[in-house]
């Protein structure tokens, strides 16, 4: 579905690019048969790591993008 965005400039949220690059690298490395399931598990692992260590990969990725 296409939604027109006339004069709106869309920008990626800070850290988003880094998260997607990390996922893409893991998908290329592992070559999972179920990419959607793999992505769900990948992000679940990131959530668990964030909760266990208080280290947020989004914040870290945003710092890399600056």
- The total domain count for the chain is 1
12 domain-assigned: no
Instruction: Give pLDDT, residue 57.
Output: 76
Range of the domain at 53: 34-65
**What is the model's pLDDT at position 1?**
47
Please check the confidence at residue 2 and state whether its pLDDT lies above 60: no
**Is 39 among the domain residues?**
yes
Residue 19's CB is within 10 A of a number of other CB atoms, namely: 19
The pLDDT value given to residue 55: 80
| Measured distance CA(6)–CA(2) in Å, rounded | 12
Q: What's the pLDDT score for residue 5?
A: 60
Q: What is the pLDDT of residues 7-66, one digit of tens each?
A: 677 788 888 888 899 999 999 999 999 999 999 999 999 999 888 988 887 777 777 777
Q: Is residue 17 part of a domain?
A: no
Give this prediction's pTM.
0.73
């Amino acid at each position: 579905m296409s939604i027109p965005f006339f004069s709106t400039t869309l920008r990626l949220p800070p850290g988003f690019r880094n998260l997607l690059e990390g996922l893409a690298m893991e998908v290329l490395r592992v070559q999972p048969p179920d990419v959607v399931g793999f992505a769900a598990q990948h992000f679940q692992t990131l959530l668990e790591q964030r909760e266990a260590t208080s280290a947020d990969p989004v914040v870290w990725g945003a710092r890399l993008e600056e």
